[in-house]
Structure 1
């Protein structure tokens, strides 16, 4: 018995990077790197390998009611990430959508376009070592279809990854960078090159620029390089090695038609008119706005107007790779007094681990007043209540794992793909694994079986409540001869919204039957399976595993595992052999 226990523990340790639908709580093994530098999940019915969450500070019965409803959008990347790209999770840590097919991204958020909620994503072309990019901006609808694909309107210069925002007029605010020859003799550089930071307002339907603002062209001249806190170092010597003196990383447009632009390397926020001239600036070496106590920031990201242009939120990095200005980064909210030409401290959000995130990061103030902070280079995000009290903290990596920003958003989607099914069977039992990447409205899975003689005659077998990204449906098949299995996805209105293919344990499959149709035009869709699939059959079948909730926390790697279906079959074999 002791040998068996030792073998099982060893097996779980070896498998700890690939735990399907797993969430951990206060796991020292995770935080120490014992589970790998980028722990990830695998599934039987999907090739997805999303990062596993570790709730450093779980929410509990007293705080769970304060959590804002919605989903979490992350885009993990780094050398320790198994698969770079955009991921959507529910707030329990279960995967909802794997968008890594689009590749590595930095900006990844929801917004409104032509009255519909959409996903905005930067699609990579090139990410340079200097921390800028050249690629394309995508608008993706709630069926995960690309409905707009555009880039900068700058004679071949492509869009940078730092920001994409949509306006109420369905235009897009983006960033871009262009290398230009510049006199850098003051820095003992001959034949110098400077990196021009550019904000553009683009019509996504045409790709044409409506407005362009360049750091080397505002105020009828330029933002002088002497205002920069980042020296050229070894840069500035060639077109492919320009000096990034300004570093734009956020752009907003307000109701007056003016633009709020963040310059990380000048430690400044510029308010630029529609004519391209600077109206005022906050921070840096020559702030034209009076800054009261507690309002200083350095190396900032994600500058946003809040509360009808009376407040400004930002992620105050307080450091970069070559300089630390404080002991910790923070989220910061400033009160802006236009009449008095001053900003005052309103509140700050500090990280649980009190550390400096040297790059990236964001502050997302939600409708309830709660705030999501993405800690950028540090693979953590946190939610705070409206009073700034910490509600929970999630870690999604240990080593070189980062997410440019982290967002909480309401998102409803029905993919055009079919649900996926994987069938595992032995002499006595069949286990069906099912998932539907990106679907947000599935409540129940109904299982069907069919014989090889009648492969598309669906015989209803059971119902199982959806459980995480991948639901496990057990079935005692010892007295049946079903070759194919299929699932139907039901929504909260008990309507069928999708059918999977019929799938066999050998991987062969056939499409749904001709009479298996759904009305995809409405969330309250009606669907038909076969005459025998009556509502009276639909009694709930308890899942073979229960799913733990973030409302509780336990220590230890084995106690912290929510579910292990990806290694289930192997464990059965091991136990049987022992």
Structure 2
């Protein structure tokens, strides 16, 4: 009623408990279907609450032709910001676009893209560092010799870019450091050989880089200054031996957690998977935490979390250790997300209602949104009075709504006050008036936003 321009995909909450961590769920819904009818699904960054109700949504496209990925909260210049990639995805699993940085008022404050003449940034990852720089990935085909024969190979580049100026400070080229022979992917004669498929980059505790190569089944520790590979975890040239259940394959979203463990979304456990690239049908994906000992060169499984629905995610996915010890997992291609207690108990399990919708990653973050626009209001007459609808896209401080009604926009008076109960709150009133407006109230009863007056239809 109030925002017919917003068509976020619906979410089904399969299980919800009161012991979930504070904050909201961050998603970037999209569909892999090129046949999705315009107007039936909008893609874009979306924040929802524990009930799956939208808190904020920004449409960026429809279908699979244009969408957003890797939506999350980060810190820039000491303040919380929203970041996501948007642009044109390529069917082979990468994209050409840019990264958006938005402040708490939902104002774009930066747009980050690749430097040195590259067409654009890839969709997989961008991390803002404490130095106010951005680590981003680039994917482009490049002529390279494979077993002595020239052929097109996907070359992955990591750039560290100053967010404000766009200046490239460091650059790392995968083909200069990772040989094509490390790949487990069989090449296709019709496509550039995606031998590495770099899908995450992050800072390790010592300031160097952790890089995930999906198609080499390897996590690379890379010197941030000179690009030298310091060690390999997994794959054909692993520097580590693995304890029971610790090996992984086709992985995503690698990062060092605050407890010292390495978190990985393990798309298919290498203990069960075929090494040649096949994915057995009886395996499931996992979120895993590894203890990696660089002295003894061993990696051991600390704990793992599998989907309560037995999902095998052949692409995408994310793992997040929350401040209270809970674990939040996005199941990638399946469009599910789950929160676990540290013990493994399922606290929340949700999914998009439409099975063609998914989100590359899913996270939980605290967020306080303070939009600069006004609340939205609509009024509709009914047989026994009228119903007023109120919403304010992105406003997280609204606790209740005050309804004003009257004979003209200039002559409105307070007629009702109700608690906010959804993205759009509906208020039934016994009397009809030609015009209505609403005021948004915070927890202290203070007015934090007032809508324009709207005619009752």
TM-score (norm 1): 0.73
Give 1 or 2: higher helix fraction: 1
Task: Please name the residue that 1:86 is paired with.
Answer: 45
Measured against aligned partners, the alpha-carbon deviations of 1:24-44 in whole angstroms (never above 9, x if no partner) come to: xxxxxxxxxxxxxxxxxxx45
1:523 maps to which residue? none
Which of 176, 191, 204 is the matching residue for 2:163?
Answer: 204
Q: Distance in 2 between matches of 1:164 and 1:98?
A: 21
- Partners of 1:229 and 1:191 lie apart in 2 by 19
1:460 and 1:353 map into 2 onto residues whose CA distance is 49
Quote the Cα distance in structure 2 between the aligned partners of 1:87 and 1:417. Answer: 18
Cα distance change on mapping 1:341 and 1:322 into 2, 3 Å = closer
Aligned to 1:104: 67
- How many residues align? The count is 440
Contact 2:211 2:219 in 1 (8 A): yes
**Structure 1: how far apart are the matches of 2:221 and 2:105?**
37
1:95-147 Cα distance to aligned partner (Å, 9 max, x none): 100112476111100011111111111021x2111100110101111111110
Which runs of 5 or more residues in structure 2 are unaligned? none
Q: Which has the larger radius of gyration?
A: 1
Tell me how far apart the structure 2 counterparts of residues 462 and 101 of structure 1 sit (CA, whole Å): 36
Counterparts of 1:461-476 in structure 2 under 5 Å? 461-476=415-430
Does the CA contact (< 8 Å) of 2:146 and 2:180 recur in 1? no
The alignment partner of 1:265 has SS state of helix
Q: What value does the CA root-mean-square deviation take over the aligned residues?
A: 1.9
Matched ranges for 1:128-147 at <5 A: 128-147=90-109
Deviation at 1:157, TM superposition (A): 2.6
1:288 corresponds to 2:239: yes
Which of 330, 333, 349 in structure 1 is aligned with 2:289?
A: 333
Instruction: Name the CA distance, whole Å, in 1 between partners of 2:353 and 2:154.
Output: 33
User: Following superposition of structure 1 onto structure 2, how do residues 206-245 of structure 1 map, counting pairs within 5 Å?
Assistant: 206-218=165-177, 223-235=178-190, 241-245=191-195
* Equivalent residue in structure 1 for 2:255, among 304, 307, 319: 304
Q: How far apart in 2 are the matches of 1:257 and 1:70?
A: 28
User: Which structure's residues are more often strand, by fraction?
Assistant: 2
Residues of 2 paired with 1:155 and 1:414: CA distance? 37
CA contact (8 A) 1:171 1:202 kept: yes
- Aligned with 1:226: secondary structure? helix
Native 8 Å contact 1:45 1:434 kept in 2: no
TM-fit CA distance, 1:427: 6.3
Residue 458 of structure 1, CA deviation: 2.6
Note closer, same or farther for the CA distance 1:322–1:284 as it changes in structure 2 (3 Å cut): closer
Greater than 3 Å deviation, 4+ residue runs: 43-46, 319-322
1:426 & 1:280 partners in 2: Cα distance? 69
Q: Deviations over 1:311-369 (max 9, x none)?
A: 10000001799721461111110011122222111011011121311000000110000
8 A contact 1:373–1:381 mirrored in 2: yes
1:249 is matched with: 199
Deviation, structure 1 residue 191: 4.5
Question: Matched residues in 1 for 2:136 and 2:143: separation?
Answer: 23
Deviates more, 1:367-376 or 1:422-431: 422-431
Cα separation, 2, equivalents of 1:267 and 1:322 = 10
Distance 1:458 1:142 in 2: 31
Distance in 2 between the 1:304 and 1:152 partners? 22
Mapped to 1, the partners of 2:26 and 2:411 lie a distance apart of 40
Following TM superposition, by how much is the alpha carbon of 1:279 offset from its aligned partner in structure 2, in angstroms?
A: 0.5
Counterpart position of 2:208: 258
Choose which of 21, 43, 48 in structure 1 pairs with 2:6. Answer: 48
